[in-house]
Amino acid sequence: MRALKIAINVLLVATLVWFLVKHENTIRAGASKRDSIAYWAAGELLVLHQNPYSVPAVLALQRSQGYLGQKPLMMRPLPWSVWMFLPLGLLNVYWAWVVWTALLLACLVASIRICWKLYGEGPKPPPAFTVAAYLFAPVAGCLVGGAMGMVLLLGIVLFLLLERDHRFWAGVALLIPMAKPHIFALLWPILAIWIITRKKWGLLGGAAAALVLATSVALAFDSHILLHYRTMMHDQAIQNEFIPALSGMIRVLFFRRFFWVQFVPLVLGFAWSAWYFSAHRRSWDWRVHGPAVLVVCLLTTPYAWMTDEVVLLPAILQAVLWLQREKLKIHSQLVILCFVLLNFLLLLILQAKVPPSTGIYFWSSLVWFGGYWYARSFSRSPQAVPQLSADLVRA
């Protein structure tokens, strides 16, 4: 049976490679419309020791691959994250998309398995856990758009997995979400206070070492990359863009001319996170309390796309297991059904290829926020968080 499984897997991989080679021209046209082309262009320029944030250079590269937009798709993650995209510069745009998509899928599978290890019981997850993971709308959005959300997700779940027993490597894992630190804005102050009060210097050392090493790699390929990033962000004038997050929609509908309004939800989020950490500081456990902070992070962030919301998968799967362990009454089942249907509505909108720039997805963070906190009301039973007491005593 083992030999048969290996043979089947080899056959499937060979079939996939044949399909990709045979249909390269057709698929290449679609690859020019995905975020992966931004990462490929940045990698291509870095390999040549050029500025990966140069708008004219990126646009020229993308136009050469069939991109038709007036503005280039720019890589906006911070310079210390360019190590993720460097290998793509060694490939053409098509195979860069193939490799990037394979990486996203690998990150997704690894993250789901880690989430089961964090929150599950037994050798195998129930069907509801697996179905919820793969049908979570931001997962589909991330794969379709070629966005880096699943890479950020892997960094978060690795931190949750390692922070108790392998603090240095947990700090190293934080380098990945630091590619887009604004998404996790509420997390960083809590993490800083927690490190200082609990004296988790190993974790801080791991994060600092990873940040220095990653920045050194970026500087080795572009010695002025920090200045280039600052110039790109200034020239792109993000404050004039419509950002299809909840905060962006509030600004567009009611306060179009006032950019600062986009940060009001974030200020409220900081107030909530200060209260939440204060209320749980003695028993703080990242596996238990961290997902709640993530949910509020994505609700209040001033800049995010639905594809970034894939980092909420630990919270969603945690909620699924809370509900799985309870005998829900009819009205509770109907409430959960509403959240499930809203998720499927988002999948249908994605299937219809409605661009995120239309703002049609802005309410997605409200769905995850409402669903998570409703499910959390069932988490107080003894079965809901296995061995929680023992974990908190050890922490």
Quick: pLDDT tens for 313-348. Answer: 999 999 999 988 888 888 888 999 999 999 999 999
* Residue bearing tokens 């791991």: 206
CB 23 within 8 A of CB 29: no
Q: Which residues contact 99 (CB under 8 A, 6 or more apart)?
A: 87, 88, 91
Asked if pLDDT for residue 247 goes beyond 90, the answer is no
Alpha-carbon distance 372 to 315, whole Å?
7
Identity at 362, one-letter amino acid code: F
Residue 391: band (very low, low, confident or very high) from pLDDT cuts 50, 70, 90 = very low
* Residue bearing tokens 């004219």: 56
Asked if pLDDT for residue 187 goes beyond 90, the answer is yes
CB 315 within 8 A of CB 291: yes
pLDDT for 264 equals 87
CB 137 within 8 A of CB 349: no
Among the listed residues 48, 60, 177, 115, the one whose alpha carbon sits nearest the alpha carbon of residue 316: 115
**328 or 290, higher pLDDT:** 290
Q: What is the mean pLDDT of residues 105-134?
A: 91
Q: How many CB atoms lie within 10 A of CB 192?
A: 11
Asked if pLDDT for residue 366 goes beyond 70, the answer is yes
Q: What is the mean pLDDT of residues 186-192?
A: 95
pLDDT for 337 equals 92
Asked if pLDDT for residue 56 goes beyond 60, the answer is yes
Residue 72: band (very low, low, confident or very high) from pLDDT cuts 50, 70, 90 = confident
pLDDT for 395 equals 38
Asked if pLDDT for residue 393 goes beyond 50, the answer is no
pLDDT for 20 equals 53
Asked if pLDDT for residue 138 goes beyond 90, the answer is yes
- The ranges assigned to domains in the chain are 105-394
pLDDT for 245 equals 78
Residue 390: band (very low, low, confident or very high) from pLDDT cuts 50, 70, 90 = very low
Asked if pLDDT for residue 303 goes beyond 90, the answer is no
**3-state SS, residue 252:** helix
Alpha-carbon distance 87 to 302, whole Å?
31
pLDDT tens column, 248-265: 777 777 777 777 788 888
pLDDT tens column, 25-47: 555 556 666 778 889 999 999 99
pLDDT for 383 equals 38
pLDDT for 8 equals 64
Share the mean pLDDT of the chain. 85
Residue 2: band (very low, low, confident or very high) from pLDDT cuts 50, 70, 90 = low
Exposure string for 129-157, b = 16+ CB within 10 A, e = fewer:
beebbeebbbbbbbbebbbbbbbbbbbbb
Alpha-carbon distance 59 to 75, whole Å?
12
Structure tokens at 43: 């990698």
**3-state SS, residue 261:** helix
pLDDT for 279 equals 92
**221 or 394, higher pLDDT:** 221
Asked if pLDDT for residue 243 goes beyond 90, the answer is no
Structure tokens at 315: 């919270």
Q: What are the φ and ψ backbone dihedral angles of 121, each rounded to 5 degrees?
A: -130, 135
Q: What is the mean pLDDT of residues 292-315?
A: 91
Asked if pLDDT for residue 392 goes beyond 60, the answer is no
Identity at 142, one-letter amino acid code: C
**241 or 190, higher pLDDT:** 190
CB 149 within 8 A of CB 309: yes
CB 292 within 8 A of CB 190: no
